[in-house]
Structure 1
């Protein structure tokens, strides 16, 4: 019996080693065809721009083209759910942002997916400081002017965001909580549409990714007030932080992360992570990212998992205190 048990144990060990080697070999052969990168927002949105910049480097690194597939809808939930339910064969990845990966788990009573169990972290790719901007018709030139106008005229002003529960939404809600002011929220499906709404006079202000608003600021069509990062951004050094303007507890930073469907082979996830890390270190890619106001980050899958849990602990109380619902 001992001999038989030993034989089966040794055979199991050999099979296990063989499976590991086979998985590693498969990862080396991956990918054999173009890889789909699902962006759960419209073309021209910040994650879309980021995906296309990184794809230009990731394609040569992986030996196959990476194709952006825009799947906007439901505040990013539609495209995120699509990836959560995709085949875990290494052919589909997600490049998404704060809300569908963390905040919507609090905002929505029911999500068709759970980002913490139905998706596998790959890498935190980049961050960007949101820029609070006002339409010229609002008549403000500084954060002090902006907050004074909101306090003195409750309900007179409205603001745009990139969707319910987005960091563009929650950042302003946090300002409203801290200053006991009020403004009406109007969500849009992308930062480009939100910026266009301000230019058309449909909304008065917003805190949006700089790639969507800085060209209009530089053209004199919008007024830049502050950045939502904790410190001044090296990408926008002339703009003060909200902290400098007297709001010390406000930091609302958009971030962008790659995820894969649950069950994607670990060796494939690791190779994709390594390719992203290499792409983010490429000087030309860094130049293009900085031109579009992205700060490259890079992380291990575990670091991204830990970061998402930290974000959940940080923003859950904000969402609950504000009493936000999907329709807000």
Structure 2
């Protein structure tokens, strides 16, 4: 009897070990198929450019392609809602931004997702200050020129944005308040069409990220950057502080998030791939040339701590800027 019980216990122990090894193996083997990265902004804009740079490098690290799925609209909310409802298996992630996890909860009374509860953290990609841009044929050569013209003719000048609640909208709303000017908001369905109209001279100005290639190619003129120090990529362009507009800084950021309840080992795998991508000198060079500051590798918990800390600050920016849904 004792021998029979012993054999039975040994059998179940062996089965348990096999199942445990299979479970551990299942956790390690990720990914086994392509991953979708939802971007709540149109192709060709600053957010899309960041997503494509990081997706390409993470694909190499993970051994599976990361496919960009642009879902523009409602200040990034359409993409965020889709990501929040996706299966939490690691095969759908999203490009999180200061809009999706900062401004929008304060701008929209009926947000279709909860920025913290509906998501799980992956990691921070970079931070990027906005640059005030005008057409190369614009009569405004300095921030002072633009401010003076706006004060003389309130409401006549306009600014473009990628839509209500976009980083361009929020930055310009704060600029209006700090400079004491009245300029009209013209929202577009994404940054790319806004930039096209700016270069054509049908929009007077825009404050955005990722536009340095347009400046270097001579298509746009940069008047100031909303940073504490000049950008290495634009050493001759002053900060707003240096240009006479005090306390104007924008801390736009990009990161990666997954649907809530995505298993921790999968989040860690994605985080490790992101860290490897950010360590790539070519990626760092591309981000610096875009006017961004690449993030140092950090844990998933550190990233979520950053997100939760900046949310009340983003909400205060919405309140103090006077930005409203239009």
Does the alignment pair 1:220 with 2:218? yes
Structure 2 portions without partners, runs of 5+: 1-16
8 Å Cα contact 1:231/1:241 also seen in 2: yes
Aligned pairs for 1:227-306 (under 5 A) are 227-297=225-295, 298-306=297-305
Report what 2:306 is aligned to. Answer: 307
Report what 1:80 is aligned to. Answer: 80
Q: Radius of gyration: which is bigger? A: 2
- State the 4+ residue runs in structure 1 displaced beyond 4 angstroms: 17-24
1:60-96 Cα deviation digits (max 9, x unpaired): 2111111111111111100111000000011100013
SS at match of 1:321: helix
Report what 2:167 is aligned to. Answer: 167
8 Å Cα contact 1:23/1:265 also seen in 2: no
SS at match of 1:243: helix
Report what 1:124 is aligned to. Answer: 124
8 Å Cα contact 1:144/1:245 also seen in 2: yes
Structure 1 195/63 Cα, relative in aligned 2: closer, same or farther at 3 Å?
Answer: same
Aligned residues between the structures? 310
8 Å Cα contact 1:24/1:267 also seen in 2: no
1: CA distance, partners of 2:22 / 2:82: 28
Report what 2:8 is aligned to. Answer: none
1:3-55 Cα deviation digits (max 9, x unpaired): xxxxxxxxxxxxxx999976653332011101111111111112211222222
1: CA distance, partners of 2:21 / 2:125: 29
2: CA distance, partners of 1:19 / 1:290: 48
1: CA distance, partners of 2:177 / 2:232: 28
Compare 20-29 and 148-157 and name the one that shifted more: 20-29
2: CA distance, partners of 1:74 / 1:45: 15
Aligned-pair CA distance for 1:324:
2.7
Aligned-pair CA distance for 1:136:
4.7
Report what 1:7 is aligned to. Answer: none
Structure 1 248/59 Cα, relative in aligned 2: closer, same or farther at 3 Å?
Answer: same
Structure 1 103/20 Cα, relative in aligned 2: closer, same or farther at 3 Å?
Answer: farther
Structure 1 portions without partners, runs of 5+: 1-16
Does the alignment pair 1:194 with 2:217? no
Aligned-pair CA distance for 1:322:
3.7
Q: TM-score, normalised by structure 1?
A: 0.88
2: CA distance, partners of 1:105 / 1:23: 38
8 Å Cα contact 2:129/2:227 also seen in 1: yes
Aligned-pair CA distance for 1:158:
0.5
1: CA distance, partners of 2:266 / 2:96: 19
Aligned-pair CA distance for 1:167:
2.1
Aligned-pair CA distance for 1:138:
4.4
SS at match of 1:244: helix
2: CA distance, partners of 1:257 / 1:237: 26
2: CA distance, partners of 1:221 / 1:67: 30
SS at match of 2:251: coil
Does the alignment pair 1:111 with 2:111? yes
Structure 1 18/206 Cα, relative in aligned 2: closer, same or farther at 3 Å?
Answer: farther
Q: TM-score, normalised by structure 2?
A: 0.88
RMSD: 2.3
2: CA distance, partners of 1:226 / 1:20: 58
8 Å Cα contact 1:36/1:69 also seen in 2: yes
1:116-163 Cα deviation digits (max 9, x unpaired): 110111101012232101235641101111211222221010001122
Report what 2:146 is aligned to. Answer: 146
